[in-house]
Structure 1
Amino acid sequence: MNHDNSRSAPPTIADVARLAGVSRAVASRALSNEPRPVSSEKRERVIAAAASLGYKPNLLAQSLTTKTVNLVAVVVNHIHDLSDLDLFDRLIDQVQMIGKQVILIRIGSVARVEEFLRNGVAYHVDAALVFSDFADAPTVRRMFRSDHVIMLNGLHDEFSPVVIPDENAGISEAVADAASKTVKTAGLVTGRASSPVEQARIRSFQEAFSRYGINLVRSVQGDYSYESGHAAANALAGVDCPDAVFCTSDAMAMGILDVCRADFPGGRPSRFRLYGFDNLSLTDFDAYPISSIGYDKSLYVRHIVDSIANPGSFSSGHPPITVPTQFVPRLTA
């Protein structure tokens, strides 16, 4: 007795191609991330046919064919700073635009890195983007058993691609702005001491203060968060407050501004000037008109995604890709 099992068999790529009126090769390319082009008209027919049949591509089979898994690891300390939200929304969107998905891995301490390695945990990913302060390039290559790690935290070596903002220009412009307004003393609210990027940022501020004759009279340790800026206000905004307060994140500057609203009638300074860093989208709103230092995040993300999509374009010893920063004046300065 013969049984017709065609109704229960899952649809194949051949079924999709037949319904769309294209070859199997075209149907396969239309539903994958292969660089070979497919016309938009054929792609739409293939997608419609796949949806009609309920066809789902076999990602494992695709990975065996292309030797990729279309996953990108993003290694972070945490995601709670407002600047993280501004950046990662763009980054995830653009990574998905090249047909890959992001997995977030939180490594907030050296102990966590060691645990990761000790337990033999290894993700098979096409690339790793490293923002965490606690993992250098050789360690990340061991973690993912991959040479394609893109370092964004200042802990790179000659074998790893690097994309990093060049912060000197923007910091110098901000300090020059303060000097032009007769600022003679400054306070500095800093972020995580463990971060090489933050250490370089602090040095840039110190050098700019010296260059423009501004005396750094007080430094307060924060962690980039709004809460740490809120706490720092008590140490900086007393009767002997400096002429200007510089923060190495906008979130910390927002915390100070909220404590000291009386010192900024209409958003303008009456006792001290306030400068942030990151040029968050929130600073474009009336509630937080904070003068800031920023860079083109779209350009920054584009460089990162280009490094993911074109791993062969990097050669050992290639200089870091830098994105220039600039001062963005607003009312608080």
Structure 2
Amino acid sequence: MAEPKHGAPTIGDVAKLAGVSRAVASRALSSEKRPVSADKRERVLEAAERLGFKPNLLAQSLTTKTVNLVAVVVNHIHDLSDLDLFDLLLDRIQSIGKQVILIRVGSVERVEEFLRQGVAYHVDAALVFSDFADAATVRRLFRSDLVVMLNGRHDGLSPAVIPDEAVGINQAVADAAGKGVKSAGLVTGRSSSLVEQARVEHYRKAFAQHGIELVRVVQGDYSYESGHEAAATLTGWDSPDAVFCTSDAMAMGILDVCRADFPHNRPRKFRLYGFDNLSLTDFDAYPIASIGYDKAAYVEHIVQFLIEPAAFKPGQDPIRVPTRFVPRLTA
């Protein structure tokens, strides 16, 4: 059949060249899984490529009531743990035919600013990592009920996925106690975070349970720089037997300041524990004992809410992904 010679190709042109109906051509080119035989799909895809046809996503959205966009709301992306997680998350979201809008919210005021200015993005769902936003606010902002809360500020009307941090923390503290640790320092993240507040409380309970005295608490912000600064107050002549950090990045900062205290990466003066189980901790430069969870499983729980939003029932408990202690040389 002859190819159209004038104007941008249409779905009708593709259907005609492939020898199928417009409905079949539309199903074959949809990013969603829709019924069409393999032979017809291949013919449609070949015809679309031949014609240089690009689907009109806006027109599709008017038909399907979806735009295949997912908002990911974050405070910022500078923590090393963000890189490990978000690359995996974005890849999985794209694998189901959706794309991501990344929204950086640096403060509570920014959330309210979005609302005051009436800035609302038309998205199919929002994934909320920022601890500056609660579930009700995000639902209002995006005018959507499909809001997956990942920051501890969930309610009964939105699904939530959170790591079960108590298990891994208790395992790490038990490891230290088993090696004779009697005193500990703790380097924490931002105190306003509900997730961080719960994490610190888990450490306090584990220390009490295993007979370790918490002698020093230093405020950090999860970053390498804050760990680097914290080292000065934790590693003097009166340093505790072990230092626990609520992020691996902070533990890396301490390790770099105190390399002399870790010959061949083994502790001579105090033991060092991180949190997040970053991919970097599997390499020789930063073999930090850490606490982590299966990020692929975590991402899969999130994506399942995007695939089957009706699976969530109001009042449903958050999905908890178990954590575990990962021993390495610094402990």
What is the SS of the residue equivalent to 1:293? Answer: strand
Q: 2: distance between equivalents of 1:273 and 1:139?
A: 42
Q: Is the 8 A contact 2:32 2:96 kept in 1?
A: no
How much has 1:114 moved relative to structure 2?
A: 1.2
How much has 1:40 moved relative to structure 2?
A: 4.7
Match of 2:245 in 1: 247
Match of 1:53 in 2: 51
Match of 1:315 in 2: 313
Which residue of 168, 180, 188 maps to 1:170?
168
TM-score (norm 2): 0.97
Matched, 1:275 2:287: no
Match of 1:109 in 2: 107
Q: Is the 8 A contact 2:67 2:124 kept in 1?
A: yes
Map 1:1-333; keep pairs closer than 5 Å.
6-333=4-331
Q: 1: distance between equivalents of 2:293 and 2:219?
A: 24
> Per the alignment, do residues 42 and 230 of structure 1 end up closer, same or farther by CA in structure 2, a change over 3 Å counting?
farther
> Per the alignment, do residues 44 and 270 of structure 1 end up closer, same or farther by CA in structure 2, a change over 3 Å counting?
farther
What is the SS of the residue equivalent to 1:233? Answer: helix
> Per the alignment, do residues 184 and 58 of structure 1 end up closer, same or farther by CA in structure 2, a change over 3 Å counting?
same
Q: Is the 8 A contact 2:28 2:34 kept in 1?
A: no
1:52-88 deviation per Cα after TM superposition (whole angstroms, max 9, x unaligned)? 1110111111001110011100110000000000000
1:20-67 deviation per Cα after TM superposition (whole angstroms, max 9, x unaligned)? 344433321221123324455543432232121110111111001110
Q: 2: distance between equivalents of 1:194 and 1:288?
A: 28
What is the SS of the residue equivalent to 1:150? Answer: strand
Q: Is the 8 A contact 2:280 2:286 kept in 1?
A: yes
Q: Is the 8 A contact 2:185 2:240 kept in 1?
A: yes
Q: 1: distance between equivalents of 2:24 and 2:282?
A: 46
Q: Which amino acid aligns with 1:151?
A: M
Q: 2: distance between equivalents of 1:37 and 1:207?
A: 54
Q: 1: distance between equivalents of 2:219 and 2:277?
A: 20
Q: 2: distance between equivalents of 1:265 and 1:152?
A: 39
What is the SS of the residue equivalent to 2:77? Answer: coil
What is the SS of the residue equivalent to 1:68? Answer: coil
Mark the runs of 5 or more structure 2 residues left unpaired by the alignment. none
Q: 1: distance between equivalents of 2:265 and 2:36?
A: 53
Count of residue correspondences: 329
Q: 1: distance between equivalents of 2:125 and 2:189?
A: 28
Mark the runs of 5 or more structure 1 residues left unpaired by the alignment. 1-5
Q: 2: distance between equivalents of 1:21 and 1:70?
A: 28
1:101-121 deviation per Cα after TM superposition (whole angstroms, max 9, x unaligned)? 100111111111111111111
What is the SS of the residue equivalent to 2:71? Answer: strand
TM-score (norm 1): 0.96
1:207-233 deviation per Cα after TM superposition (whole angstroms, max 9, x unaligned)? 000000000000100000011111111
What is the SS of the residue equivalent to 1:121? Answer: coil
More off after superposition, 249-258 vs 36-45: 36-45
